[in-house]
Amino acid sequence: MTSHPFDDPSLKKRHRKARRFRSMTRLSIAMTMGFLLFFLFDMARTAYPALWQAYIQVDVNYTEASARFTSMAVAKEDRSLVSRAWLRTIPKRVEADPSLMGTTRTQWLLADGQVDQYMKGHHHTLKPGEAARVDALREQGKLTLDWNTHFLTQGDSKLPEFAGIWSAIVGSVLTLIVTMALAFPLGVATAVYLEEFARDNRFTRFVEVNINNLAAIPSILFGLLGLSVFINLFGLPRSSALVGGMTLALMTLPIIIVSSRAALRSVPASIRQAGYGLGLTRQDIVKDHVLPVAMPGILTGSIIGMAQAIGETAPLIIVGMIAFIPDAPGSFTEAATVLPAQVFTWAGMPERAFVEKTAAGIMVILFVLVTLNAAAIYLRKKYEIKW
Amino acid sequence: MKSNGSAIRDIQIFADDLDFYYGDLQALKGINLEMARNRITALIGPSGCGKSTFLRCLNRMNDLIDDTRVEGRVVIEGKNIYDADVDEVAVRKRIGMVFQQPNPFPKSIYENLAYAPLKHGMVTKRSGCDELVESSLQAAGLWDEVKDKLHQPGTGLSGGQQQRLCIARAIAIRPDVILMDEPTSALDPISTRIIEQLMLDLKQKYTIVIVTHNMQQACRIADDTAHFHMGEVLESQSTEALFNNPKNDITRDYINGRFG
Indicate the pLDDT class of residue B260, thresholds 50, 70 and 90: very low
Residue B238 reports pLDDT greater than 90: yes
- Residue in B90, B107, B116 nearest the CB of A278: B116
Query: So where are chain B's domains?
Result: 11-105+157-255
> A67 falls in which pLDDT band (50, 70, 90)?
confident
Structural contact between residues A265 and A353, judged by C-beta atoms closer than 8 angstroms: no
| B193 reaches A (C-beta below 8 A) | no
pLDDT for B6? 45
**B119 — contact with chain A (CB < 8 Å)?**
yes
pLDDT tens-digit profile of B181-223? 999 998 899 999 999 999 999 999 999 999 999 889 999 999 9
Chain B residue with Cα closest to A289: B105
pLDDT tens-digit map of B2-30: 444 445 678 899 999 999 999 999 999 99
- Prediction pTM value: 0.84
**In the predicted model, is pLDDT for residue B248 greater than 50?**
yes
Picking from A285, A271, A269, the residue whose alpha carbon sits closest to that of residue B106 is: A271
Task: Give the pLDDT of residue B5.
Answer: 44
User: Per-domain residue ranges for chain A?
Assistant: 54-91+105-146, 166-383
Q: Which fold has domain A166-383?
A: MetI-like fold (1.10.3720)
Whether pLDDT at A179 is above 70: yes
Which residue is closest to B152 within chain A, CA to CA?
A386
A203 touches chain B (CB under 8 A): no
User: Number of CB pairs < 8 Å for A and B?
Assistant: 68
Longest dimension (CA), chain A: 107
Which residue in chain B has the smallest CA separation from A386?
A: B106
Å from B86 to nearest chain A CA? 13
A281 vs chain B: nearest CA distance in angstroms?
Answer: 7
pLDDT higher than 90, residue B67: no
Q: Is the dihedral of CA A13, A15, A16, A21 positive or negative?
A: positive
Class of the domain covering B11-105+157-255: alpha beta
In which band, very low, low, confident or very high, does the pLDDT at A1 lie, cut at 50, 70 and 90?
low
Give the pLDDT confidence of A304-361 residue by residue, as tens digits: 899 999 999 999 999 999 888 888 899 999 999 999 999 999 999 988 889 999 999 9
Q: Which residues contact B48 (CB under 8 A, 6 or more apart)?
A: none
Instruction: For residue A112, give the nearest of A127, A97, A92 by alpha carbon.
Output: A127
pLDDT for position B4: 45
Share of chain B above pLDDT 90, in %: 78
Can you tell me the ipTM of this complex?
0.89
| Residue in B91, B106, B115 nearest the CB of A387 | B106
Q: Which residues of B touch A274 (CB under 8 A)?
A: 99, 103-105, 166, 169
SS (H, E, C) chain B: CCCCCCCCCCEEEEEEEEEEEECCEEEEEEEEEEEECCCEEEEECCCCCCHHHHHHHCCCHHHHCCCEEEEEEEEECCEECCCCCCCHHHHHHHEEEECCCCCCCCCEHHHHHHHHHHHCCCCECCCEHHHHHHHHHHHCCCHHHHCCCCCCEHHHCCHHHHHHHHHHHHHHCCCCEEEEECCCCCCCHHHHHHHHHHHHHHCCCCEEEEECCCHHHHHHHCCEEEEEECCEEEEEEEHHHHHHCCCCHHHHHHHCCCCC
**Residue B87 confidence (pLDDT):** 93
Predicted confidence (pLDDT) per residue in A210-244, tens digit: 998 988 899 999 999 999 999 999 999 989 999 99
Inspect the interface and report whether the beta carbons of A386 and B120 lie closer than 8 Å. Answer: no
